[in-house]
Each structure stands twice: as C-alpha cells, then as structure tokens.
C-alpha cells in the first residue's frame, strides 16, 4: 500500500489573517499521523514547509512583499510535493491558506510530467488575478494561476499546469463576477451549491471525477474547509452558510479510497484559533480516512458493524 506523505504547508500570508499558518502544526500535535496509522493507513510527516515570519507584523507589508513570501513558500512546497512523488508516496498537503494550491499542484505537475485533473471543493472560486482582486489576498488567486493567469512569480511555480477542461468545482456559493467570468470563458465546470442540492452530492461527484480523469494520467482533490457548512467547521476564517455537510461528503468520498488514479490530496484553510472542541480538526482526519482507507477494509468494517 502506498504510504501517505503528510506535508504541512504552514502559511497564512495568502489570507487577510495569518492564523491558518498554525493549522498544520496543530494537526501534527493532535496526532494526525498516529490516528491515520490506527485506521490502517501508513502515514508519516515528510515535511513541514513554513513560510517566512515577518516580525514587523502583517500590517506593515505591502501586497508585493506578501506576494513574494507566498511565491517563495510555494516554491519550497512544490519541491516537497515532487520529492514525495519521487519517493512513490502519496502527497497529502495540509494548510495553510488556499494560496498553497500553487505549490501543491505545481509540485504534482513536476512529479507527474503528464496531464492531471483536479476536483475543487470550495465555497469560493479563488480565480482572481492581481488586476481583479478586491482584497489582493493571494488565496483568492490560486486557481487562476494553475490555469495560467496571474502574477509571474506565482506562474513560475504553478502556472498553467492545469487544463480548464479537467477542473471541476463543487459547492460554489460566494464569488465575484470577474473570477466567474474568467472561468466561464475558459470553459471550467462550476457546480454551485444549489445544483448539489438539486442533483445530490454523489451525482455531482461522479461528474467531477469524470471531468478530472478525462484524458489525464491522474487526478487530485483540493478541499477548502470553508466549502462545508459552518455548523460542521467552526475552524475556518471565511465561513459561508449552506455548505457541504461533513458526514455526507465523507461517505461520498469513500468510493475514491485508494483510487488507482489519485495522485495527491490537499486540505486547506484550517484555522485552529477558531475551532471548537477540535471539531474541524476531526473532520480533517475523517476526510483523510474516507479517502485513504482501502476499500476492502471499509467493506469489512461495514460488514462487522
């Protein structure tokens, strides 16, 4: 069984607040690797990629300075992801804000050297460029970069590694017109939350998997925790009502466990400062267990129950 390489991407520089940079270390301290091992999943922490810490405080940094920190962090993250793939391990990247997607999937592209697809669970589109972003926060730009748009320092790490026809969003319900227009022009499939309610999560996940695997050599999942309903994830900085429900999502992801074409997993935007009774941290573990426990083991557990 392929071992899961847990890679902490400890950065909050892409967001308007920095607390997500503590997320990976908290997950490590809570014994995530040990809990996965107890569930039958070989896992180890292979890297903790930390962003630079500016002692002047974030309020004194210009957007350009923050972009530089984000770009350098993503470059290191891409190295760690590509290294895990070279070691024949499955990269499981734990953030950190969603700007880390630039490094995660830039590293996957380097490790695969072949087209891959991506299923993107999120409340947001993250498809702004510096020219359209109202906040100038890089965590709202990562998808655009992967599709080949945005700042050159970001594109140097992960620019254009993803084809629009192999990207599918699930759970969208909060975005600006400019980023929606870019994705629509590129032909990206966006499944809004009202469509999830109408068709059911299992049906839209099946469509997303078909999109991500059509003409590719593999696929990945990026899971932004704010894609879930705030009732299930108190530990996020940008909660949006009427999101995906935790139990249903874990159940729908379970058939993907150890899918032969799964190349990497990314879970982002865990903010431990806002978590209650480790509820969001437990969801991270549940999501990974759903995706990584071998299907045979899952069937045995169900039969025993």
Residue 30 has phi, psi (to 5 degrees) of -80, 0
| Dmax (CA) of the chain | 58
Strands (DSSP E) found in 210-300: 219-224, 262-268
Of 139, 149, 179, 266, which one is the catalytic site residue? 139
Q: Give all domains of the chain, ordered by start, each with its CATH number.
A: 4-304 (3.40.800.10)
Of 89, 122, 266, 275, which one is the catalytic site residue? 122
Sign for the pseudo-dihedral over CA of 183, 244, 279, 283: negative
**For 58-91, how does the pLDDT look when each residue is reduced to its tens digit (9 = 90+)?**
557 899 999 999 999 999 999 999 999 999 999 9
**For 245-270, how does the pLDDT look when each residue is reduced to its tens digit (9 = 90+)?**
999 999 999 998 868 999 999 999 99
275 is catalytic: no
126 is catalytic: yes
Of 73, 89, 97, 98, which one is the catalytic site residue? 98
Of 179, 266, 269, 275, which one is the catalytic site residue? 269
Determine the Cα–Cα distance for residues 260 and 7; give it in Å rounded to an integer. 21
Of 97, 226, 229, 275, which one is the catalytic site residue? 226
192 is catalytic: no
Residue 161, C-beta contacts closer than 8 angstroms, at least 6 positions apart? 105, 106, 108, 109, 116, 146
Q: How confident is the model at residue 55 (pLDDT cuts 50, 70, 90)?
A: low
Residue 65, C-beta contacts closer than 8 angstroms, at least 6 positions apart? 54
276 is catalytic: no
DSSP letter string, 244-264: B-HHHHHHHHGGGTT-TTEEE
DSSP 175: -
Count the neighbouring beta carbons within 10 Å of the beta carbon of residue 79: 17
Contact of 249 with 291, CB cutoff 8 Å: no
Of 73, 124, 128, 149, which one is the catalytic site residue? 124
**For 153-209, how does the pLDDT look when each residue is reduced to its tens digit (9 = 90+)?**
999 999 999 999 999 999 999 999 999 999 999 999 999 999 999 999 999 999 999
Of 89, 97, 126, 153, which one is the catalytic site residue? 126
**H-run or E-run covering 46:** strand 43-50
Q: How confident is the model at residue 302 (pLDDT cuts 50, 70, 90)?
A: very low
Of 89, 97, 153, 224, which one is the catalytic site residue? 224
98 is catalytic: yes
Using alpha carbons only, what angle is made at residue 130 by residues 243 and 158, rounded to the nearest 5 degrees? 75
Count the neighbouring beta carbons within 10 Å of the beta carbon of residue 62: 9
Listed residue (241, 193, 221) closest to 284, CA to CA: 221
């Amino acid at each position: 069984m392929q071992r899961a390489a847990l890679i902490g991407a400890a950065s909050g520089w892409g967001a308007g607040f920095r607390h997500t940079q503590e997320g990976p270390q908290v997950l490590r301290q809570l014994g995530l690797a040990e809990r996965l091992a107890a569930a039958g999943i070989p896992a180890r922490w292979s890297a903790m990629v930390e962003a630079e810490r500016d002692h002047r405080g974030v309020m004194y940094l210009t957007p350009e300075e923050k972009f530089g920190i984000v770009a350098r962090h993503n470059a290191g993250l891409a190295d760690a992801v590509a290294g895990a793939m070279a070691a024949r391990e499955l990269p499981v990247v734990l953030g950190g804000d969603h700007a880390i997607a630039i490094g995660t999937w830039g590293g996957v592209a380097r490790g695969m050297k072949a087209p891959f697809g991506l299923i993107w669970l999120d409340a947001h589109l993250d498809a702004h460029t510096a020219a359209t972003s109202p906040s100038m926060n890089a965590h709202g730009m990562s998808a655009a970069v992967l599709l080949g748009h945005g700042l050159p320092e970001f594109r140097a790490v992960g620019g254009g590694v993803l084809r629009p026809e192999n990207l599918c969003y699930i759970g969208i319900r909060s975005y600006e017109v400019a980023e929606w227009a870019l994705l629509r022009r590129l032909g990206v499939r966006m499944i809004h939350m009202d469509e999830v309610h109408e068709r059911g999560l299992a049906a839209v996940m099946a469509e997303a998997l078909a999109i991500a695997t059509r003409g590719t050599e593999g696929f990945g999942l990026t899971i932004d925790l704010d894609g879930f309903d705030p009732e299930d994830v108190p530990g996020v900085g940008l909660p949006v009502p009427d999101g995906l429900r935790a139990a249903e999502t874990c159940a729908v992801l379970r058939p993907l466990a150890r899918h032969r074409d799964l190349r990497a997993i990314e879970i982002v935007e865990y903010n431990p400062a806002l978590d209650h009774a480790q509820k969001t941290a437990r969801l991270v573990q549940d999501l990974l267990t759903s995706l990584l426990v071998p299907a045979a083991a899952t069937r045995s557990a169900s039969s025993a129950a």
